[in-house]
Amino acid sequence: MKFEIMRDKLLEGLSDVMKAISQKVTIPILTGIKIEVNEKGLQMTGSDSDITICTSIPVEQDGEQIIQVMESGMIVLQAKFFSEIVRKLPTNEVVIEVTEGMHTHIRSGKSEFHLIGSDPYEYPVLPEVSDEHRMSLPSDLIKSVIRETVFAVSQHETRPILTGVHWELKDGELVCVATDSHRLASRKTRPEQVPEQPFSIVIPGKSLQELNKILPDTLEPVEIIFADQQVLFKTRNVLFYSRLLEGNYPDTSRLIPSEYKTSVTVNGKQLLQAIDRASLLAREDRNNIVRFSAEGGNTLEVSSNSPEVGKVEELIEAQEVTGEELKISFSAKYMMDALKAIDGQNIEVHFTGTMRPFILKATDNDSILQLILPVRTY
């Protein structure tokens, strides 16, 4: 194998692949990156067995020659060293050559690196994803869907299925739901092109977080192809594979109340900042609980009390308060996560009593719904 490549393009592809690399893998070869070069260009693959990322760099792009292939071939190089070397090379031209015994030479300017590679035939093959189910979504929409749901997945392995986000397609609508059983985040969207059959998959939260880092904030279409155990997100130059979680996701639709006793319309940013301040003194406590009350006209009060430190009282003018008077307590962290996900000018909060879950949504948009279970303190 021997080729010359532009360092900045190599670095670009490498930084995507590196997102799949973990030092904690049990299969030693997965600490490496598989590099394959042929007349079409360069392919690099990184994997931690749950996630596999594969980037392609074409020989030519936009009329510019990026790679000059002298000899096709494959090698696996230690990801950590290879990426650090490429990052620090002195010039933008890099020659990579593999000689006998997997000796790999990386030359740039007056620098020469010599790494001992590993056998590329020992590297796991890419997962096979039959393309029976596929749909396409704009990249920036996928990023929004991830940001608005993934924070609510469970961090505990006691119910592994809850560490993923449930993506379900029904009647042409894609519903994405995450819950850790104390709160729930839901996002609906109608893809332009949908598969004929309904589907239901659970994608690990961690995979979606890495996917979010790789996808561009553009309208570029991303193809999503899924089979029983794998999902593949496909952009122009990147293949992102993730393992799916096995098992049935709980039916969460019946958790969402449809009748309300108290409803509040308020500026989302004001409420977020007030809760942030109210929780300042409560952060030491395990639960980080704030109290919320709507008892006098349109004035809301958010407060907290930590006997050893002090207390905080925040008043907020709501646009509208309807229904019964209310006193309720909840996790400041969950509330702030939910408000950040909605990120709306004006939001509605609908309560069904002190001990029942309440929901949040934007006043002008039904696609995002956030649900939080209160805490008993009053």
Instruction: State which residue, 189 or 303, has the beta carbon closest to a copy of itself.
Output: 303
Q: How many residues does the chain have?
A: 378
Dihedral pair phi/psi, residue 225, rounded to 5°:
-125, 130
Amino acid at 245: L
With beta carbons less than 8 A apart as the criterion, state whether 185 and 177 touch.
yes
Cβ of residue 299: shortest distance to a copy of itself, in angstroms?
A: 9
Cβ of residue 320: shortest distance to a copy of itself, in angstroms?
A: 18
Amino acid at 321: V
With beta carbons less than 8 A apart as the criterion, state whether 126 and 105 touch.
no
Return the residues of window 216-275 that contact a copy of itself according to CB under 8 A. 273-274
Question: In the block, which residue shows the tokens 């907290």?
Answer: 304
Return the residues of window 126-165 that contact a copy of itself according to CB under 8 A. none
Dihedral pair phi/psi, residue 296, rounded to 5°:
-140, 95
Instruction: State which residue, 159 or 311, has the beta carbon closest to a copy of itself.
Output: 311
Instruction: Pull the structure tokens for residue 200.
Output: 């239901």
Cβ of residue 291: shortest distance to a copy of itself, in angstroms?
A: 14
Instruction: State which residue, 109 or 247, has the beta carbon closest to a copy of itself.
Output: 109
Return the residues of window 270-299 that contact a copy of itself according to CB under 8 A. 273-274, 276-277, 280-281
Q: What is the DSSP letter of 243?
A: E
Determine how many CB atoms are found less than 10 A away from the CB of residue 215.
21
Cβ of residue 349: shortest distance to a copy of itself, in angstroms?
A: 18
Return the residues of window 305-364 that contact a copy of itself according to CB under 8 A. 308-316
Interface characters, 73-112, with a copy of itself (x: CB under 8 A): -----x--x--xx--xxx-------------x-----xxx
> Nearest CA to 127 among 23, 227, 16?
227
**What angle (nearest 5°) sits at the alpha carbon of residue 87, between those of residues 83 and 89?**
115
Instruction: Pull the structure tokens for residue 315.
Output: 């008043």
Q: Is 1 in the site for a copy of itself (CB under 8 A)?
A: no
Find the binder of a copy of itself among 2, 19, 74, 113 (CB under 8 A). Answer: 113
Integer Rg of the chain from CA:
25
Helix (H) or strand (E) holding 278: helix 268-278
Return the residues of window 173-212 that contact a copy of itself according to CB under 8 A. none
Cβ of residue 223: shortest distance to a copy of itself, in angstroms?
A: 38
Q: Which residues bind a copy of itself (CB under 8 A)?
A: 78, 81, 84-85, 88-90, 104, 110-116, 273-274, 276-277, 280-281, 308-316
